[in-house]
Chains A and B, each alone.
Chain A
Amino acid sequence: YSLETDFGKNIIIDANQQKLDLKNNTLTFLGKVEISQGSLKMTADKLEVIKNESENNQQELLIATGQPALYTQTLESGEVLTAQALEIRYLVAEKLLTLKGEAKITQKDSLVNGDKIEYDLTKQKLVASSNKQSGNKVRTVLTPKSEQ
């Protein structure tokens, strides 16, 4: 498995409990939540799945929260991308990852910290930002090849 083939795979969610609220269109998983889709793996304390019906397409949004919530996926290159944050949002159709709260992404020789990180899984493009109140800065650490 790797990133490109992952998106054709079914998403499997294991948890202790699952609550479904048809009226509010929300499905919530609680307790040791594990999500997998091919090589994509997420673990969290809680996962909310929200279906937004807009025009013709249906958009699933997965919101994983934890201390922290973790995300790993094998990229085309074979490298493993890992991410963690207090909240990880995964827009399934758009393949967009949004990390919020003590966000961190590492990929082989680089590490990015910030309050909020958005990562386009298809383009493998990353936008990191920090919120003014926290006073934190975005930090990127590139490890020189010799130190690996």
Chain B
Amino acid sequence: MSRLIFSIFVICFISYKLWQNWDSEKISKTESQSAYAPDYQIEGLSQTIFTTDGQIKTKLTAENFEHYEELEFTFIKQPSYTLFGSNKDSNWMISAKESSVHDNLYLELVGDVKVESVTKNNWLNQIEMDQINMNLNTRVLSTDTQITGSGKAIEFTGKGLKANLNTQEFEFTDNVQTKYLVN
């Protein structure tokens, strides 16, 4: 009789252990899944961000917008940013296939990236490249990829760019060629 009780006890103990293992796996699975599932997702996003004194700072439209709180990461499909500067000459539009934001500050844009001046000027109205990084606060841009740019009767090509959209300064860092279209 005691042998029977002992075997029942062993079976119960083993199944309890199995269940415990399965349960913790399930928890860790859902935990990890929750880290990979966006906290919120918006399709057809249209967002306007204001400065503390009520001026428009940034406008963003996007096909798809996924935010992952735990990872402090946002993934955006077909983003189009309009960045408003201190005056109308320093407003710029940036668009790309995809972009991601890390720590709510560091923006990376990838695929058909286009940086365009809202107000056309003599020098630089548009720059195109494959990838670029931008600090959303300082609006400093940087890339090592091949770039092409154009303005009024002027075309640039080069490798690498450092730019500051606030101070309106652009540096093409390597192998630069500029073509002045005389006629």
A residues touching B (Cβ–Cβ < 8 Å)? 7-23, 25, 27, 29, 37, 51, 53, 58, 60, 92
Contact = CB atoms under 8 A, between A and B. Distances in A.
Given A19-B170, A22-B168, A10 B177 contact: no
Contacts of B124: 20, 22
B21 to A, nearest CB: 62
A91 B28 CA distance: 72
A8 to B, nearest CB: 6
Nearest to A93: B182
B177 to A, nearest CB: 5
B179 A10 contact: yes
B170 A10 contact: no
27 contacts: A9-B182, A10-B179, A10-B182, A11-B180, A12-B179, A12-B180, A13-B177, A13-B178, A14-B176, A15-B178, A16-B176, A17-B176, A18-B156, A18-B171, A18-B176, A20-B124, A20-B170, A21-B169, A22-B121, A22-B124, A22-B170, A23-B169, A25-B123, A51-B122, A51-B123, A53-B122, A60-B180
Contacts of B174: 16-17
Majority DSSP secondary structure for residues of B touching A: strand
B172 A22 contact: no
Interface in B159-183: 167-183
Contacts of B173: 17
B158 A18 contact: yes
Nearest to B172: A18
Contact of A17 (B89, B167, B172): B172
Given A8-B183, A58-B122, A19 B169 contact: yes
A19 B163 CA distance: 9
Nearest to B170: A20
A92 B183 CA distance: 13
B61 to A, nearest CB: 25
A94 B121 CA distance: 23
A13 B179 CA distance: 6
Nearest to B122: A51
Interface string B124-167: 10000000000000000000000000000000101000000001
Contacts of B181: 10
A21 B168 contact: yes
Top 3 nearest A-B pairs (CB, nearest first) are: A11-B180, A22-B168, A18-B176
Contact of A18 (B178, B182, B183): B178
Contacts of A13: 176-180
Given A10-B179, A13-B179, A13-B180, 12 more contacts: A7-B182, A10-B180, A11-B182, A12-B177, A12-B179, A18-B158, A18-B171, A18-B176, A20-B124, A23-B169, A25-B122, A51-B123
A92 B153 CA distance: 14
B96 to A, nearest CB: 22
Contacts of A23: 167-169
A92 B181 CA distance: 12
Most buried by A among B121, B172, B173: B172
A17 B179 contact: no
